[in-house]
Amino acid sequence: MKIAAILAVNIKERVIERAIDKLSRRHGVHINEYDAHNGADNARRLTGKNGMPNMRDFTAGVANRCCSVRIPRQVSEDKHGYLEDRRPAANADPYRIISILLKTCIFDE
């Protein structure tokens, strides 16, 4: 493998790791934004049971549906791709969700 290809893979892997770190530090803010009722709906849904993450704790894992942020197995193997934030409620405003994700992961706000 060429050096440039190795560096590209390492950079992509670190981007995902940094995003997870940033999301973990702003977990409470995200929980409130991810719910149309400022966390009330998520309190009923995010119990840590039935394949759902726990609302109080931020967790991340590979191919683990009980985590706050899930990294698909193929992404972990390829060292690049995407992550899945499993915390937003179904009735959440998608514009608020993408706004807080961009502020946290891209703009460091």
In this structure, the dihedral spanned by the alpha carbons of residues 41, 88, 28 and 38, taken in order and rounded to 10 degrees, is -40
Strand 60-62 and strand 69-71: the pairing is parallel
Q: Are 86 and 67 in contact (CB under 8 A)?
A: yes
Mean pLDDT (the chain, rounded):
82
CA distance 3 to 71: 26
pLDDT of 8 > 60? The answer is: no
- The number of distinct structural domains making up the chain is 1
> What global pTM score does this model have?
0.81
The pLDDT tens digits for 17-37 are 999 999 999 998 998 888 877
Task: Quickly list DSSP for 59-98.
Answer: -EEET-TTSSEEE-HHHHHHT-S--EE----TTS-HHHHH
Q: The domain that contains 35 carries what CATH number?
A: 3.30.590.10
Q: Are 56 and 65 in contact (CB under 8 A)?
A: no
**Mean pLDDT for the stretch of residues 69-74:** 92
The pLDDT tens digits for 73-90 are 998 888 888 899 988 888
State the Rg of the chain over Cα: 15
**Owning domain of residue 21:** 3-105
